[in-house]
Amino acid sequence: MQHESAAEPASPLAELVEEFLAARATRKPSAHTLAAYQRDLTLVLQQAVPAPLSPAGLSPRVLRAAFARFAADRAPASVARAWSSWNAFFTFLVTEGVVAGNPMSAVDKPRMVAHSPKPLRGEDTPEQLLRVVSQADERQRDPWPERDVLVLALALCAGLRLSELLGLRVGSVSGRDGERRVEVAGKGGRPRVVPIDGGLDAAVERYVASRRVRFGRVGKADPLLVDRHGAPLQRGGLQYLVRSCFRRAGIGDRVPRGAQLHALRHTFATRLAEDGANASEIMRLLGHASLATSQNYIEVTAEQQRAAIQSNRTNRVLRELG
């Protein structure tokens, strides 16, 4: 009797990639981040000649040639991200004792041009935006000003990224009176805590109360932001919501091209700087991995962070809306 042949076993290198991804998953990165790791590792590996079956076959010469082929028709940002993925992979292999050293130092990484901040233009634009959006627009199919104001306020007054907004739970906003904060799952799975002012806290409460009226009970583990049907807000829906708010407020010409929601985050950082926050406070609040290499990282106390948040002028209009 003839038996079916067993599936071909995975190569040691493929197994190590799976182990690396499993180790990264414990840091709770987004599904998008994990998929990017796997894609970067796989695509560069496909360019390696001869095809290596184990880390021993990934010499600096093989890696340099593979990255050269990979980079031929890709943007520098994509190549830099792939380099970082491979650097993380080899750091994992060194930690696990699989290889003696990380060969990525022998592979050139594209130099990235620093992007200048793109805040909303106009001295009072954030205030105008919040005031207009706080009023129900009867031209909308289902106006929900409390939800729309909260989305804008979390970016303008806490500096949250799009992915961070989508990851919030109702219980992410917590703390005693005077010490309220939002707990954020930041970029790369790095958690951070951002103190929030009373105005933003009130905006959260108004939104949650309006959501109970619409859909009933709201639990702490539920996604914070939902659409008009009560389903968790998705990336496309959130982007459309922000564009709609800009349009309703008539400030489309004051939004830097390509920035959209990120313009609100940049406005948060720019205003903190204008109101006296230092670079360490701003970078800590924004959740960046480190300061520029020319600056020393300064540990910022919770009290200093809270003072920086309270100095943010945009919080004032939220207090007025209550």
Q: Which residues are catalytic?
A: 161, 187, 262, 265, 288, 297
Rounded to the nearest 10°, the torsion over CA 152, 185, 29, 58 is 100
Q: For residue 152, give the DSSP letter.
A: H
Decide if 84 contacts 228 (C-beta within 8 A).
no
How many residues are recorded in the chain? 322
Rounded to the nearest 10°, the torsion over CA 116, 287, 312, 174 is 160
- Is 173 buried (19+), middle (13-18) or exposed (0-12) by CB count in 10 A? buried
Which two three-digit tokens encode residue 160?
A: 């949250």
- Which residue in 288, 307, 275, 316 sits closest to 153, CA to CA? 316
Cα three-residue angle 112-55-9, rounded to 5 degrees: 120
* Greatest Cα pair distance in the chain: 83
DSSP codes, 84-121: HHHHHHHHHHHHTTSSSS-GGGGS--PPPPPPPP-PPS
Taking each helix axis from N to C end, the angle separating 31-46 and 12-25, rounded to the nearest 10 degrees, works out to: 160
